[in-house]
Every structure is written in structure tokens, then in C-alpha cells.
Amino acid sequence: MADIKLYCMGESGNSYKAALALELSGLDWEPVWVDFFGGECRSPEFRENISEMGEVPVLVQGDVKLTQSGVIQSYVTELTGKFGGETAEDKREVLRWVLWDNHKLSSQAGLTRFLINFLPEKHQNPDVISFMQGRLKAAYQVLNNHLKGRDWVVGDGLTNADISCCGYLFFEEPFGFDRTDWPEIDRWLNNIAALPGWKHPYDLMPGSPADRA
């Protein structure tokens, strides 16, 4: 039995950030599926025993219990020394991009993907979706421009900046992101997917739309 458990679901890009960091770090961990669509995160039991925030991912290791993907990524770095950046300047840059992603990219992508793919059609608002996709396009442009002449977001290898920013971009469900429109992002995603041990979200964690079809 693994020492580290990650409460997660395959459909969650934020869970993927934590799971991918764990997997590529070489730590021994195991996923624990959370039935988000069945309401498990909203249950009193989950909020009391797993996360008061009522969301995934949640990492548990002994007495350590952590929520929020960025915090979990940072914890993986504490344990392994990996993905945090080599120099003090790099460490600040990694944090800068993780914060940018959480605010400008993943938050927009996660919501837009949910509105289009997981919300009943009768509740979908085209104006809201269009607005969100406009904000996402601006975020894609920032990332695409930054990656020109770079293999990684920060420094010369994979860091938490890459793991955070790629969190939603490997999912195939439509939400307004087409890799062919963003050649630098496409090249960078190929770099990540070529890493030994990389797995697609649905291969790394339990739970996928196909399971609920």
C-alpha cells in the first residue's frame, strides 16, 4: 500500500497537476477516486474527513493533509527536490507561472470545459461560454508567446510551472483549445508527453466520461 494517497478524479485538470507531479517525481502514491458527479465532494462526510473545501485534489500522507494543486506540487518538491527550479530566480519564476496559471488559465479552462461538456445543455449559456473562451484565447496567447525559443516554461527542464500550465491542455473534450492554433504550446506539450513516465489524465487517474456514458 502506497504511503501517499491522492483523492482525485480523471476528469479534473487540477487533480492531474498533482497526480502528474507525483508520478513523474517517482514517489510511491495511489489514486483514490472521488465521485464528484455523484455529489461526494459536497457530502458532509467528505467535507469533515477529507477536505473542508469540498474539492479535489487532496493529498494525504500520514498526518499531512493538503489541498490545492499548487500546494501539493510544492510538497512534492519538498520531498524530492524536483520541479522547483534550480536558482532563486527560477524558483520565483516557477511560482509566478503557477499563480498565473491558477488565475488566468486553469480557472478559465476548467470552468469553460465544465460548461460545455458536463453541464446539461439546457443550462448552458452561449454568451457566458463565448466570454470565457475570449479570456482563454488571451491566456493561450501569453503562454504561446512565452514559449517561443523555449522548451520549458522556466529554465532547462520540467518544473511545476509546466505541470501547472499543462493541467487542462491534454484533455480532448472541446472547450475552445485547438493545439494546431498554438504551435509553441503544441511543441511544448509534446515535450511533456515525451517524458519517461508521462501519462494522459484518464490513464493516470480513475474516472472518465467514458465510465459514465
- pLDDT digit string (tens) for 121-146? 999 999 999 999 999 999 999 999 99
pLDDT value at residue 211 = 82
Show the cell assigned to 69: 494543486
Show the cell assigned to 100: 498565473
- Write out pLDDT tens, residues 13-24: 999 999 999 999
* Average pLDDT score over the chain: 96
Question: How far, in Å, CA of 123 to CA of 198, rounded?
Answer: 36
Average pLDDT for 180-195: 98
Q: Is 90 exceeded by the pLDDT of residue 213?
A: no
pLDDT-derived band at 212 (thresholds 50, 70, 90) equals: confident
Q: Is 80 exceeded by the pLDDT of residue 169?
A: yes
Residues 6+ apart with CB under 8 A from 47: 53, 54
pLDDT-derived band at 1 (thresholds 50, 70, 90) equals: low
Task: Domains for the chain: give ranges and CATH numbers.
Answer: 4-82 (3.40.30.10), 88-193 (1.20.1050.10)
Beta strands in the chain (DSSP E): 4-8, 29-33, 58-61, 64-67
Average pLDDT for 1-17: 94
Average pLDDT for 33-48: 95
pLDDT value at residue 27 = 97
Q: Which residue stretches of 81-151 are H helix?
A: 88-100, 106-117, 126-146
Q: Is 70 exceeded by the pLDDT of residue 189?
A: yes
pLDDT-derived band at 210 (thresholds 50, 70, 90) equals: confident
Q: Is 80 exceeded by the pLDDT of residue 2?
A: no
